[in-house]
Structure 1
Amino acid sequence: MTLTELRYIIALQDTGHFGKAAERCFVSQPTLSVAVKKLEEELGVSLFERSRAKVSCTAIGEQIVGQARHVLEQSERIRELAQQGRDPLGSPLAVGAIHTVGPYLYPRTIPKLRELAPQMPLYIEENMTATLRDKLRNGSLDAIVVALPFTEAEVVTQALYEEPFVVLLPRDHPLAAQTAIERSDLIQQDVLLLGEGHCFRDQVLEACPGLRQQLARSDRLLQSVVEGSSLETLKHMVASQLGISVLPLSAAQIGPYGDSLLCTRPFAGTPPSREIALAWRASFPRHQAIDIISRAIRAVTHDAQMAAPQS
């Protein structure tokens, strides 16, 4: 039994197809098929049920593939330990962030990281929470920046900062005449939200239950919710007079539109907000690297206050 064979069966379970599994592992299909068959013969059990339509795990195969994932994770820890022994701040650090944080945090944080750890190569990506969770678990990412609550077995989280939500409006919108927006003011408005699967969408609907109720109604004539794929898309749509939106303060900068087109207004009373945290595997050995990225994020969010100017 080899680690390569374990990678093969994990890829086969993930894809349900010998050809796709082979592509993922960068080998030919016959090579992967022979290796999987050899492993089954060595173990004396069938790991997969094979049909023309799909390849699926047997009951015992599910357990063995699950253990294989654990073995590969531990083997990666051996490499990480070796890297730590060489230089914890000299090896690449892979960091992920949710879509509603990455575009606004990375440009501020990366220069600070370069200042604190100039020799540490950095890989960054943006994705949805579920994908970041999977990549953190399988070792593709070393740390992720997500919104709380976030729970995962054997993962440590550290709160970094909290930011309020604000309302983004066209400058000539009737609500722009108010100094603060009541949550009830959003009812019967065309509120632009992120599409399903984005945690920020869920946070807005939780903070403004009236919007959730309207989403559940079959009658959409009085209020429409246009779903965008990014916060920047929503900002463009607001600038095009298609409605208003609720954004985290860090994303609410009106940028190239200027004061003549857009403005932001706070919520009245205690505003809805979100807490952003850093998460990493408890077994990740490069504690100095985690400390550096935490320090960098805290520094830039404190200095900039993660706020767009109110206008």
Structure 2
Amino acid sequence: MTITQLYYVLAVAEHKNFTQAAEKCFVTQPTLSMQIQKLEDELDILIFDRSKKPISLTEIGEKIVVQAKSIVNEAGRIKDIVEQQKGYIGGEFKVGIIPTIMPTLLPMFLNNFIKKYPKVNLILEEQTTEEIIKKLKNGHLDCAIAATPLEEETLKEIVLYYEPFVAYIPDHHDSFNKEEIEISDLDLDRILLLQDGHCFRDGILNLCKNNKYINDSNFQLESGSFETLIKLADEGLGTTLLPFLHTLDLNEKNKTKLRHFQDPKPAREVSLIYPKSELKIHIINALRDTIAGVVRGAIAFQDVQIISPKPKK
């Protein structure tokens, strides 16, 4: 039995197709199939039921895949131990970031990180929270940045910062003249949100449900971008909520339409997320320290109420 054979098994278990798994492993399909067959012969069992389309795991195969994931992860720790001992921070490192965080946070830390750790080949992917969780569990991401808590047993979370929700209220709205607002000040039957699938949208829905002001049927789902929501609000179609960091880049005219909530301000918790196996933890810590260093000066809010990003049923 070899680590390579287990790696091939995991690839087939994920893709449910020998050809696709071989492509992902950068080997020929006959080579991959032969190695898996050798492992099955050695163990005297079938890991995959090849009679089904797509290919599925046998009952014993499901148990083997769980153990194989653990073994492959632990094998990866050996390289980590050596690199940490040598003080080496480098190599390929894949990071997933949700769409409502990437445009504002990335420009704040990326240049600093690249300069400080030039040997790290940082690969950044914009992904939804659902995609991030799946890729972290399958080993296709080393860590991610997303709104938390996610309550995933196999993942760890390190809080980076708390980002308040800020209301964008056009000058024709009744609450425009208020210095601070409450949830009840918004037009909750005409609030403009991101499309379904964005956790920031789910956070706003949870915020309003927590205060028992509204149900799902009152919301308009309008766009995939904050810029479009702002334009729609300016056209008199409602109000919207923005993450605090996004408001820093607004023009001066639009900034006059921003209103903060009364304390405790509703906010989202933004964290680094990574598997409990803690592979490449030295790079994860380097990324955390870099982001914390630049964000600390931008967000100074203390009295906040964390709103869950998980959709409520």
Q: Secondary structure at the match of 2:220?
A: coil
Q: Deviations over 1:183-208 (max 9, x none)?
A: 12334542222333332222211111
Q: Alpha-carbon deviation of 1:100?
A: 2.0
1:298 to 284, 288, 292: 292
Q: Alpha-carbon deviation of 1:259?
A: 0.6
Q: Alpha-carbon deviation of 1:152?
A: 4.0
1:254·1:263 contact (CA, 8 Å) conserved in 2?
Answer: no
1:73·1:138 contact (CA, 8 Å) conserved in 2?
Answer: no
1:165·1:271 contact (CA, 8 Å) conserved in 2?
Answer: yes
Q: Deviations over 1:219-265 (max 9, x none)?
A: xxxx4511433444534544555432112211234635x51697211
1:171·1:261 contact (CA, 8 Å) conserved in 2?
Answer: no
Q: Deviations over 1:37-74 (max 9, x none)?
A: 33222211111222363211111110111111111111
Aligned position for 1:112 = 112
| CA distance in structure 2 between the aligned counterparts of 1:25 and 1:206, rounded to whole angstroms | 41
1:116·1:292 contact (CA, 8 Å) conserved in 2?
Answer: no
Aligned position for 1:14 = 14
Aligned position for 2:65 = 65
| CA distance in structure 1 between the aligned counterparts of 2:228 and 2:248, rounded to whole angstroms | 13
Is 1:250 paired with 2:251?
A: no
Aligned position for 1:36 = 36
Q: Aligned pair in 2 of structure 1 residues 26, 211: CA closer, same or farther (>3 Å)? A: farther
Aligned position for 1:271 = 265
Q: Secondary structure at the match of 1:100?
A: coil
- Please, which moves more after superposition, 144-153 or 162-171? 144-153
1:194·1:201 contact (CA, 8 Å) conserved in 2?
Answer: yes
Is 1:191 paired with 2:191?
A: yes
2:180·2:262 contact (CA, 8 Å) conserved in 1?
Answer: yes
Aligned positions of 1:170-181 closer than 5 A? 170-181=170-181
Aligned position for 1:220 = none
1:88·1:289 contact (CA, 8 Å) conserved in 2?
Answer: no
> How does the TM-score come out when normalised to structure 2?
0.80
Q: Deviations over 1:259-292 (max 9, x none)?
A: 1697211224432112222334454366554443
Q: Aligned pair in 2 of structure 1 residues 205, 288: CA closer, same or farther (>3 Å)? A: same
Q: Secondary structure at the match of 1:226?
A: strand
| CA distance in structure 1 between the aligned counterparts of 2:188 and 2:278, rounded to whole angstroms | 49
Q: Aligned pair in 2 of structure 1 residues 68, 282: CA closer, same or farther (>3 Å)? A: closer
| CA distance in structure 1 between the aligned counterparts of 2:230 and 2:9, rounded to whole angstroms | 44
Aligned positions of 1:192-207 closer than 5 A? 192-207=192-207
Aligned position for 1:214 = 215
What residue ranges of structure 2 are gaps of 5+ in the alignment?
302-313
What residue ranges of structure 1 are gaps of 5+ in the alignment?
218-222
| CA distance in structure 2 between the aligned counterparts of 1:212 and 1:194, rounded to whole angstroms | 19
Q: Aligned pair in 2 of structure 1 residues 26, 112: CA closer, same or farther (>3 Å)? A: closer
- Please, which moves more after superposition, 135-144 or 37-46? 135-144
| CA distance in structure 2 between the aligned counterparts of 1:186 and 1:263, rounded to whole angstroms | 13
Q: Alpha-carbon deviation of 1:120?
A: 4.2
Q: Aligned pair in 2 of structure 1 residues 214, 286: CA closer, same or farther (>3 Å)? A: closer
1:190·1:243 contact (CA, 8 Å) conserved in 2?
Answer: yes
| CA distance in structure 2 between the aligned counterparts of 1:27 and 1:59, rounded to whole angstroms | 27
Matched residues, number = 300
Aligned position for 2:51 = 51
Q: Secondary structure at the match of 1:193?
A: strand
Q: What is the root-mean-square deviation in Å for CA atoms of aligned residues?
A: 3.1
